Structure 1
């Protein structure tokens, strides 16, 4: 992965020191000294984005806190009550229903798209095609021999699907039942644990089927494919009569779409300058993939990669507050 750090630090040592310390920039005049609370979730890219935005706002003189939160319930509680001010990554793939409920409440505001497009689905390494030649068509998974090829001693003869943490949603248990797949869903405890298991399996060419999402460095590091499920439509999740199974919903793949930023409804009045920056904040998908890889694969800190990205993109950042 191409590093984003080369040459950046020497170009802006003073700027990085200022941002890291969270000191006010010259002529900063925050509208309120109350803390702006930015949500941190349980995957790398969202926490990189939260760290970058926090540093940008601190440099403008704002009091900023990073708050560990639950992904879906943050839309239902924190952002509606004002206990959270901003959330940077809400994916159409998994948070669609929660975002609709938040919109209907009138207590949150959708702050615009982050930039990268969201894709999440079941994924398998290319070497598994030898044991299940019908892949990536989802119907190949119904073959008991194919399912057994993805099994572990704990799930045999059923295949094993490694899903994300339960807080991510995704309806994988419902999908397995609705499509009649001979698979058992096992949820990873954390994002890091899920990708550590992928790394171990990939090195040994061992069977694995798991939830992969993009933007993420994994799609560049590992050679494989997403399962091609029946195309998602809103009716698939809401109308059991839609689709292949007339008695159950979720008989399709996950939706694709945007990644959205959300804010507490009162942010624009209490911190109009910070609100303007949060609305303008975007990041290219290639940058986000590279930054995530630097943290997860190169063991660089969130602060280190955030400071380097800010230094490299200072002209763009300055335009967000104009």
Structure 2
């Protein structure tokens, strides 16, 4: 099939019933403050609103609130669940009410990260070197919000490795601001980070080896929904199942947003520059009955 070259042509290929159904249809996407989550949620909001007539709301909530609201039907979908380990505790209470769909990214990373100029390579080395990682007067690991999965795993790591450091929880942007400041001065700092993340393109960073496996192995990112979403939205379910990104495409989207400084403008710029890839995801529309 010839690739679509514009939003108008894309819309023209939607079956008439689908085009009518999408007009003014409400869709709530649950989001959190992870960089890749904000990036892909804004990308899909733009595509579904501008090209298919959906009215999309992005609902930014904590992990616990996200799963509860989706199970209650107040949130339709979320673009990101890490399995089999990281988000399993959040999913387990609602397994009968939520549905995990196809993977869109494989090979995640998760753990404690330091700039490459820091001359340690493993988490246990932090025990003897803790005083080098002072933040606001005490040895610290800088993390994101306390309700996140990585925050809980970091508490587990502090206990398992008997680390004489405390985790300071804040927002993702606040953590990245502290990393940027330390990096500019080549000062030691340890933060909680994950892959994919635009920081690995911006800075020379490394994961500290985790011999106890607290942070688990590489995982896969799926999208998920309330349990009856696929029956309510079979076309959109097929489209999202066809969606797949690798390090280059996802890293490029996040980097564009970071460079532009706005998730909406950055996502729009990336969409304009990557129509061929996007049209591959959307080709399912031409096959719909």
Residue in structure 2 matched with residue 119 of structure 1 by the alignment: 109
CA displacement 1:225-247 (0-9 Å, x = unmatched): 21111243xxxxxxxxxxxxxxx
* Residue 292 of structure 1, CA deviation: 0.9
How many residue pairs match? The answer is: 275
100, 117, 132: which one aligns with 1:149? 132
For the 8 Å contact 1:39–1:69, the answer to whether it is kept is: yes
Equivalents in 1 of 2:136, 2:282: separation in Å? 56
Tell me the CA shift for residue 25 of structure 1. Answer: 6.4
Question: What is the distance in 2 between the residues matched to 1:137 and 1:296?
Answer: 29
CA displacement at 1:116 relative to structure 2 = 3.6
1:265-304 to 2 correspondences below 5 Å: 265-303=227-265, 304=268
- Report 1:193-208 matches (<5 A): 193-208=174-189
- Do structure 1's residue 78 and structure 2's residue 69 form an aligned pair? yes
Larger radius of gyration: 1
Scaled by the length of structure 2, the TM-score of the pair is 0.84
CA root-mean-square deviation: 2.8
Corresponding residue for 2:33?
A: 42
**Do the aligned residues in 1 keep the contact of 2:143 with 2:172 (CA within 8 Å)?**
no
Per the TM alignment, residue 202 of structure 1 is displaced from its structure 2 partner at its CA by 0.3
Q: 1:266 to 1:306 in 2, by over 3 A?
A: farther
Indicate how the Cα distance of structure 1 residues 272 and 210 shifts in structure 2: closer, same or farther if over 3 A, else same: same
Aligned counterpart for 1:212 among listed residues 174, 193, 197? 193
Equivalent residue runs for 1:228-267 within 5 Å = 228-232=209-213, 252-267=214-229
Report the 3-state secondary structure (helix = DSSP H, G, I; strand = E; otherwise coil) of the residue aligned with 2:121: coil
Supply the distance in 2 between the matched residues of 1:216 and 1:45 (Cα, whole angstroms). Answer: 6
How big is the shift at 1:117? Answer: 2.2
- Distance in 1, matches of 2:277 and 2:242, equals 14
The separation in 1 between residues aligned to 2:133 and 2:9, in whole angstroms, is 51
8 A contact 1:32–1:270 mirrored in 2: no
CA shift, 1:290, in A, is 1.4
Counterpart-to-counterpart distance in 2, 1:42 and 1:219: 17
Do the aligned partners of 2:109 and 2:196 also contact (CA within 8 Å) in 1? yes
Q: In 2, distance between residues paired with 1:225 and 1:207?
A: 13
Uncovered stretches (5+) of structure 1, i.e. residues with no partner:
1-10, 130-134, 233-251
TM-score, reference length from structure 1: 0.76
Structure 2 alignment gaps of length 5 or more: none
Match of 1:178 in 2: 160
